[in-house]
Structure 1
């Protein structure tokens, strides 16, 4: 199964269905199931951002109890959008070859990613948090996870 390593707290936000887009500086043509791997690094400053802190707290998480170095969820990578910002209008426009969507910068999703113009937003759907994190060594970019096939 394909996998992507994501720093904490963002991997857990995806696993909890709080974060719907993973933002990257590069696009992907891959579509299909993808394991969400929480990297070993936890960005403790990000865990204090009010929207992030509140989302984690709703599920009993803090910077001190986030899983690290493990696969935490399985998702479906549905689309890869190019980000186009209109910060004066408060709108983030996402465009792919087949779809367009947008959201307001007041939406919590904006606080959960880096939506600079020219970046990419990977749409994740059908996210299933694993009952227990499965330890795994992460890698850069998309990689093959030989762990449990779900």
Structure 2
């Protein structure tokens, strides 16, 4: 199964289903099943961001040391990848515009201008800088137990056992 390694706490936010857009500096043509791997690194400063801390605490995670690392922790379906642009170089989060937003996503979220209103938490959970990409992760299922695995750069193949 194709797999992407994400550093913590972002990985857990995906596994919990509160982060549905994984932002990357690169796009992929892959669509379909995608395993979510927690890398060895934990961004401890990100764990202190109030919105992230609030979500983790709500799910019983009160310290960064409780986050799983070096393991596949969820499975998802990568349904689309959007390029990110900021019209007129606005810096406000509500000005984020996903330039290749398709009709299905518009039906779910509304117009690009409404995304910032309807999904405000997403903007605390990613880097929406101009020129980056947002990967739409759907049907996320958190594994009952993390499966130890060594991560890799880019997309990589994970051989699921059991």
TM-score calculated relative to the size of structure 1: 0.92
1:71 matched residue in structure 2: 72
1:1-150 matched pairs, under 5 angstroms? 1-61=1-61, 62-85=63-86, 86-88=90-92, 90-96=94-100, 98-99=102-103, 101=106, 102=112, 103-104=115-116, 107-148=120-161
CA shift for structure 1 position 91: 2.1
Higher share in strand? 1
Give the total of aligned pairs. 149
Q: Any idea what SS the aligned residue of 1:118 has?
A: coil
TM-score calculated relative to the size of structure 2: 0.85
Q: Which runs of 5+ in 2 are unaligned?
A: 107-111
CA shift for structure 1 position 71: 0.3
Q: CA RMSD in A?
A: 1.9
Larger radius of gyration: 2
Instruction: Supply the distance in 1 between the matched residues of 2:10 and 2:93 (Cα, whole angstroms).
Output: 26
Aligned partners of 1:79 and 1:96 also within 8 Å: no
Aligned partners of 2:93 and 2:123 also within 8 Å: no
Higher share in helix? 2
Q: Any idea what SS the aligned residue of 1:53 has?
A: helix
Instruction: Supply the distance in 2 between the matched residues of 1:118 and 1:27 (Cα, whole angstroms).
Output: 10
Question: Relative to 1, partners in 2 of residues 1:88 and 1:55: Cα closer, same or farther, differing over 3 Å?
Answer: closer
2:109 matched residue in structure 1: none
1:27-80 Cα deviation digits (max 9, x unpaired): 111000000000001111100000110111111113120000000000000000
